[in-house]
Structure 1
């Protein structure tokens, strides 16, 4: 159900989570949500953090690498929708994504049956030095 429809019908309660860092597991999120689901939660928002720049040093060079420190927004969205039978609202920050990457993500979310997406541009590369430049 669309969040705009939920708000018209009743008072809503939502939770915002972030995916675990690379290499960490999702069990802590599940344990926490298992307890919170007793409170008639209307939807869960999942923040997708922007791409950041990292540098890898080799013997003869330094390579600039763009990566997301907390990947898994799409997978976690699907897992939570399936596990809790609840609406999930991905909160997407465009910084670090090309318009094609954003389009691909929106297509994937549509295929998954996501009805609500919160999309913002976020900080620009000129204001945040370690983010990849984007045009979204």
Structure 2
């Protein structure tokens, strides 16, 4: 059995309040961002529901809770005209947010997962939209 490249989720290391703060502060930045904001505002219909879903997702990743239900890949593949630049901007804002939270363990763990997710979503997007082209990793453009 292959071992995960991420630290084991641990409910004793990060609180639900920290995770909620991460989600809310990150999306406050993303919604104001000139590149990401218009995409989020066009595609997120119910922000309250989105905050709950994203808090559940990060709680599952960081604390090992099992509240998250969803399939992020199809939703991202359905979006028109995404680019490596947009995924890299998302990741930069995410890392800025985790740094500002002041919990180095949360920052390191969440950033590893976010980097992995951004790359997976971008690779899946490329395979779906550009099946005849070689997929390019983030940061390699």
Which structure has the larger Rg over C-alpha atoms?
1
Larger strand fraction of residues: 1
TM-score after normalising by structure 1 = 0.33
Q: Comparing both structures, which one devotes a greater share of its residues to helix?
A: 2
